[in-house]
């Protein structure tokens, strides 16, 4: 087993939410979420099915019904961030530590983000 010090300064080879949805762990997690919530990811991949936070809030509601007061179902990025915040707070209420949770930005779709060009970043 590698020591934690071995990871210092090294890029992480595996990142939970950036891996391919065909990974067995993603498929297992997706099946579990669908079984517990009774809802389906549909044609969305793992990240895409969770990015608006609705399924995650429904998951918490299934686990502990009084935990989520309201799910924001508006199709906006702000609504998604609101749901993700509700989910993460609920996880902490259930006893998880912040270090065991993901950052809401991990679920954002980065494929449509503008990318800086090298020339834009150089100093004169």
Tell me the three-class secondary structure of the chain, residue by residue. CCCHHHHCCCCCCCCCCCCCCCCHHHHHHHHHHHHHHCCCCCCCCHHHHHCCCHHHHHHHHHHCCCCCCCCCCCCCHHHHHHHHHHHHHHHHHCCCCHHHCCCHHHHCCCCCCCCCCHHHHCCC
1 in a structural domain: no
Q: How many domains does the chain have?
A: 1
48 in a structural domain: yes
Evaluate if residue 9 carries a pLDDT over 60.
no
Q: Which long-range contacts (CB under 8 A, 24 or more apart) does 102-109 make?
A: 102/16, 102/17, 106/15, 106/16, 106/17, 106/18, 107/17, 107/47, 107/50, 107/51, 107/53, 107/80, 108/51, 109/47, 109/48, 109/51
5 in a structural domain: no
Whether the pTM exceeds 0.75: the reply is no
46 in a structural domain: yes
Please, which pLDDT band fits residue 106 given cuts at 50, 70 and 90? confident
47 in a structural domain: yes
Evaluate if residue 95 carries a pLDDT over 80.
yes
Residue 96 belongs to a domain with what CATH number? Answer: 1.10.418.10
| Domain hosting residue 101, numbered range | 21-105
71 in a structural domain: yes
Q: What is the pLDDT of residues 50-83, one digit of tens each?
A: 999 999 999 999 999 999 999 999 999 999 999 9
């Amino acid at each position: 087993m590698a020591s934690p010090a071995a990871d210092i300064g090294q890029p992480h080879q595996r990142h939970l939410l950036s891996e391919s949805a065909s990974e067995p762990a993603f498929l297992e997690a997706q099946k579990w979420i669908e079984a517990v919530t009774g809802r389906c990811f549909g044609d969305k991949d793992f990240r895409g099915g969770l990015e608006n936070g609705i399924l995650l809030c429904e998951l918490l509601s299934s686990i502990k019904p009084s935990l989520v007061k309201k799910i924001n179902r508006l199709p906006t990025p702000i609504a998604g961030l609101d749901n993700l915040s509700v989910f993460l707070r609920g996880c902490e209420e259930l006893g998880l530590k912040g270090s065991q949770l993901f950052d809401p930005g991990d679920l954002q779709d980065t494929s449509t983000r503008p990318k800086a060009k090298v020339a834009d970043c150089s100093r004169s």
